[in-house]
């Protein structure tokens, strides 16, 4: 990074050059900077975003050890209270990536960690998650339910620790995991049991969604295929 910070690589097409240009813009003009990262699925948008954030944070004084710790999860017992804005940003990125990724043609990083040994067996039983990943329709439609290059246990532990760092309470974490479990199950009886709602109301909400137009409420009929 020092090469780019010292201006020795100006003009070269590199993500650090873009990051340095934005950082210089902040220092010179005192104005917010925007960086647009585009590309197809799997092209590396998320990874390049991480590199930009890490670069700017290092320019602002964060150490390599701090950045490495944050990019790989955070130690137990630390919360957002009193932590830097930079660590909060990186922690948020880890959390959003954990829940925001699905399998595509070029990208296998979907979230399966809730089914892994990162979480106690008793907790998975309470969430009705007793099967292997390849037995859940929500996960197996892409043809690959397990990726040997992805450590679901490590990702699960890292995500749980990041939630602690962002001051997400134990009760709030359970709520998040319950909703995720409901998505994995996609079975009316199991989902309604987890979410504490009547099965008839959930079926109605899915097959006859309501929209409000002015003072009128219109119900739209949908068959199971559309649902």
User: Residue 66, annotated ligand binder?
Assistant: no
25 is in an annotated binding site: no
Tell me whether residue 86 is annotated as binding: no
Token readout for 10 is: 């100006």
**44 has binding-site annotation:** yes
Is there a binding annotation on residue 116? no
22 is in an annotated binding site: no
C-beta of residue 129 within 8 angstroms of C-beta of residue 184: yes
How crowded is residue 92: how many other Cβ atoms within 10 Å of its Cβ? 14
* DSSP labels, 125-185: HHTT--S-GGG-HHHHTTS-S--TT--HHHHHHHHHHHHHHTT--HHHHHHHHHHHHHHHH
39 is known to lie in a ligand binding site: yes
Whether the Cβ atoms of residue 166 and residue 88 lie closer than 8 Å to each other: yes
Length of the chain: 227
Is 73 annotated to bind a ligand? Reply is no
Binding residues: 39-46
Binding residues for ATP: 39-46
């Amino acid at each position: 990074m020092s090469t780019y910070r010292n201006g020795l690589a100006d003009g070269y097409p590199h993500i650090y050059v873009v990051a340095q240009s934005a950082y210089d813009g902040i220092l010179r003009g005192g104005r917010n900077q925007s960086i647009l990262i585009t590309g197809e699925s799997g092209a590396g948008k998320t990874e390049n975003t991480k590199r930009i954030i890490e670069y700017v944070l290092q320019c602002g004084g964060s150490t390599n050890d701090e950045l490495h710790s944050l990019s790989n999860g955070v130690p137990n017992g630390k919360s957002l209270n009193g932590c830097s804005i930079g660590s909060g940003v990186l922690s948020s990125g880890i959390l959003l990536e954990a829940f925001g990724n699905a399998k595509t043609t070029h990208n296998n990083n979907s979230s399966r960690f809730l089914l892994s040994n990162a979480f106690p067996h008793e907790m998975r039983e309470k969430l009705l998650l007793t099967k292997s990943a390849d037995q859940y329709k929500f996960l197996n439609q892409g043809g690959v339910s397990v990726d040997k290059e992805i450590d679901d246990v490590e990702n699960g532990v890292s995500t749980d620790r990041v939630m602690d760092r962002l001051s997400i309470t134990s009760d709030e974490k359970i709520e998040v995991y319950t909703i995720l479990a409901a998505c994995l199950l996609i079975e009316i009886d199991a989902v309604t049991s987890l979410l504490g709602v009547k099965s008839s109301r959930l079926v109605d909400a899915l097959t006859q969604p309501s929209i409000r137009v002015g003072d009128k409420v219109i119900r739209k009929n949908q068959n199971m295929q559309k649902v």
